[in-house]
Amino acid sequence: MPISRLGLVVHQGRPVAVQTAETVRKWAEEHHIGCTDIDVWKDHKERRSGTDELHHAGDPDLVVTLGGDGTFLRGARIAAKNNAAVLGVDLGKVGFLTEVACRDVEAALEAVHHGGATYEERMTLTMRASRPLEIPAGIESLLRYGHGPALPPPPVRHETVEGAGWGLALDVTALNDVVVEKLARDHQVALGVYLSGRLLASYSADAVIVATPTGSTAYSFAAGGPILSPNMEAIVFTPVAPHMTFNRTVVAAPDEPIALRVLPHSGQAAVSIDGQLRGVLDPGDWIGVYGSQRPLRLVRLQPTDFYGRLRDRFRLTDAPATGVDGQSELFWQPADSPVPPDLQHLRIPPPPGNDR
């Protein structure tokens, strides 16, 4: 796709990201493409919601992020608002979301601009709530000490129908997860968890996580949840340190909503979206989390090796007992020949070094 306007999200704490940003700005100038830095803030200044940030940047059709997966998430919350594509540029670490190294950013931009890239869609989540989310005074500074200003609570979307009993539609796009967690260290959050309107169980836990397949390798994984292929659509519910026998993850279909209701005698609960505090729930409040109709478009310059990244990211090692039985090849296919007709519908990558 020819790029008409570009948005730039930079990890300001990394000199290589700041330096690469200059390369991107120069490329945009040479190609007469508008380039705006987005999600930029100073201490004691408020950040914008995703939709406001998008309009401030002039509705870019490509968002370039310079940093790790955290920086990518900052760009994703903005890009998904108008179906913009996201190109993640990494800083030398193996990430699940970033696509190219800093040294290759100009070649990547040329590929996008001249139609040499493909686009991979990732499922996202959105929300409804019983009332607008708010962050009480004092809590933000306590929970975000040393992390700069927080994002504002998500605004209410215009399609909300007042008095319909379905709550308020919030302007939320979560690529990884929505988390409801306790605020007081000595008081767990108590939640009624509903899948497709049916009570699954009431949980007393440190937190509960509702994640996408993309987010299955983040907080949900750390809490014992499964790893899902990012090519699938599903909603992953994982409790964190629940005080109950049933502590397993539940994987729901993408069209099955999950509702979380704070029980009457529970403590307050924080709501985080992709790791960012966005509101606090009181006893009796509820949120509904469900698959969004706005997927995120990721720029891909070559087939994604998710399982190779999985092995590298988590430093997977082979079982010691297999050492005497022979070494596993890093890549394996039965033959370097055309895929048989009955297998051509499967996602089978070409052999290494083969661009077919």
> pLDDT of 208-239, one tens digit each?
999 999 999 999 999 999 999 999 999 999 99
Query: In degrees to the nearest 10, what's the CA dihedral of 38, 41, 45, 48?
Result: 20
CA 154 to chain centre: 16
- Written as one letter, the residue type at 30 is E
Compute the radius of gyration of the chain from its Cα atoms: 22
Residue pLDDT, tens place only, 26-42: 999 999 999 999 887 76
Lowest mean pLDDT among 5-9, 49-53, 113-117, 166-170: 49-53
pLDDT tier at 58 (50, 70, 90 boundaries)?
confident
Q: Taking a C-beta distance cutoff of 8 angstroms, is the pair 140, 146 a contact?
A: no
pLDDT for position 70? 86
Q: Is the pLDDT of residue 142 over 80?
A: no
Lowest mean pLDDT among 5-9, 80-84, 134-138, 274-278: 134-138
Gap between the Cα atoms of 195 and 169, Å rounded: 18
Our answer to whether residue 69 is catalytic in this structure is yes
Helix runs in the chain, H state only: 15-30, 50-56, 69-79, 105-113, 139-143, 219-222, 306-313
Which residue, 59, 11, 71, 51, is CA-closest to 34?
59
Catalytic residue of the set 69, 90, 274, 285? 69
